[in-house]
Amino acid sequence: MAINNLPIDGPLFAYKDGDRHKPLTKSTFIKTLKNTAKAAGYHAVQGHGIRIGATLEYLLRGVPFEVIKVKGRWASDAFQSYLRKHNQILALYIQAMPAGMATEFTRLAMPPVR
């Protein structure tokens, strides 16, 4: 807020463009993230990847699945397929979790045993 010197009646998420303020849009936000990642030598991020990453972060912190579904506006359990693709990476985090959290997370992220 101090950097952009936002007007008191302006949008909460805005930025200065020349001599005026513009509301921050999703496309501008994603474009800025892509440019920043590229400048830092990382792969460009997509909006969907950010959403999946946030979901994963909340799960790893023990936030209940139903809360995450509401926060992320997930209409289905489709995100579980994304988490299953990362099960090798997640294995170390799951092993380090307290038993109760690990059980719930494993139920959501790992395929069922047949």
Q: How far apart are the C-alpha atoms of 103 and 97, rounded to whole Å?
A: 9
Based on the fold, state whether residues 104 and 70 are members of the same structural domain: yes
Percent with pLDDT over 90 in the chain: 5
Based on the fold, state whether residues 37 and 75 are members of the same structural domain: no
Asked if residue 113 is part of any domain, the answer here is no
Q: What is the mean pLDDT of residues 30-59?
A: 81
What does the pLDDT read at residue 84?
A: 60
Asked if residue 50 is part of any domain, the answer here is no
What does the pLDDT read at residue 108?
A: 67
Based on the fold, state whether residues 39 and 6 are members of the same structural domain: yes
Based on the fold, state whether residues 38 and 66 are members of the same structural domain: no
pTM of the entire predicted model: 0.51
Number of domains in the chain: 2
What does the pLDDT read at residue 19?
A: 85
Based on the fold, state whether residues 40 and 2 are members of the same structural domain: yes
Asked if residue 78 is part of any domain, the answer here is yes
Asked if residue 52 is part of any domain, the answer here is no
State how far the alpha carbon of 22 is from the alpha carbons of 26, 32, 34, 81, in Å. Answer: 12, 14, 19, 37
Query: Residue 37: which domain range?
Result: 1-45
